[in-house]
Structure 1
């Protein structure tokens, strides 16, 4: 389990880099740039959106509606003795990370403020530590959501590219 929504790994595939690129291209549609409400409906015939170049790709899974925890997948393809090697990085979208960091900062300030106020009044108020509980809850949801989405993406990529993790 990852403790932060970020993951780096490598896949070794028996396919040559051109075959890898072709297989990825078949599964990736260009990103749709319509309005917010148009993006709520699935307009993609493929499981991923983004782009695939000769030696690199930037993709993300397609979901109906909104899901803040889908990983943004960047990778590059290199020639290897047995076929090709893909170096992949999965992370949450930066905007979502900024929002979560902002919420965490606010909850920590509120939690410490409540804790200091509670300790200065010489009586413990359980309500004063509620922001810390909220912080833990948000963290657990973020980690669970990201890990479940990234695991399904990894399985799909491994199956698509007939690969295995680099050891």
Structure 2
């Protein structure tokens, strides 16, 4: 998953499941439709989402727009020494669908342009623009997702008083 906008992390904490659930509840607000401009208060909690039994689905509350903000899902399991927290960070489904459609279109255009560029004797550097767009597209997605996921990992590690075991 190193080359995709996704993270699978397992935390190990000495705290029990009930304590971790309580800490999560103290850090999570219900999801709101509008969280920008006049609708965003300064006294918000760091995350929005919900907890169901020993599982949670959350995302960070940010004061700017980032379509590549990780959607965090996780589960908490009791162990003899504390708890294991398994966390998955993924892009929002709508964003994934858009990226797949845009990537397929640009990939097709790129293949078309490259086949024409290498099929003729005159090489035009302008034919490489779609390939450059695909590379920039990938780099922007990865940088935006990894920036947000690193902050969420640090937040969760602190919240759970945990260490990452994989």
User: Structure 1-normalised TM-score?
Assistant: 0.91
Is the 1:30–1:49 contact (alpha carbons within 8 Å) kept by the matching residues of 2? yes
What's the CA shift for 1:97?
1.4
What's the CA shift for 1:100?
1.3
1:15-49 Cα deviation digits (max 9, x unpaired): 1100000000100000013xxxx332324710100
What's the CA shift for 1:9?
1.3
1:39 alignment partner in structure 2 = 35
Matches of 2:27 and 2:45, distance apart in 1: 5
Q: Secondary structure at the match of 2:76?
A: strand
Is the 1:60–1:71 contact (alpha carbons within 8 Å) kept by the matching residues of 2? yes
Q: Is residue 5 from structure 1 mapped to residue 5 from structure 2 by the alignment? A: yes
1:12-31 superposed matches below 5 A: 12-31=12-31
Matches of 1:131 and 1:105, distance apart in 2: 12
Q: What value does the CA root-mean-square deviation take over the aligned residues?
A: 1.6
1:36-79 Cα deviation digits (max 9, x unpaired): xx332324710100001220000000112321111000001110
Structure 1: any 5+ residue segments left out of the alignment? none
2:157 alignment partner in structure 1 = 158
> Runs ≥4 in structure 1, deviation > 4 angstroms?
none
1:2-151 superposed matches below 5 A: 2-33=2-33, 38-41=34-37, 42-43=40-41, 45-151=44-150
Is the 1:55–1:76 contact (alpha carbons within 8 Å) kept by the matching residues of 2? yes
Structure 2: any 5+ residue segments left out of the alignment? none
Q: Secondary structure at the match of 1:39?
A: coil
| 106-115 vs 123-132, greater mean Cα deviation | 106-115
Paired residue total: 163
| 63-72 vs 11-20, greater mean Cα deviation | 63-72
Is the 1:75–1:86 contact (alpha carbons within 8 Å) kept by the matching residues of 2? yes
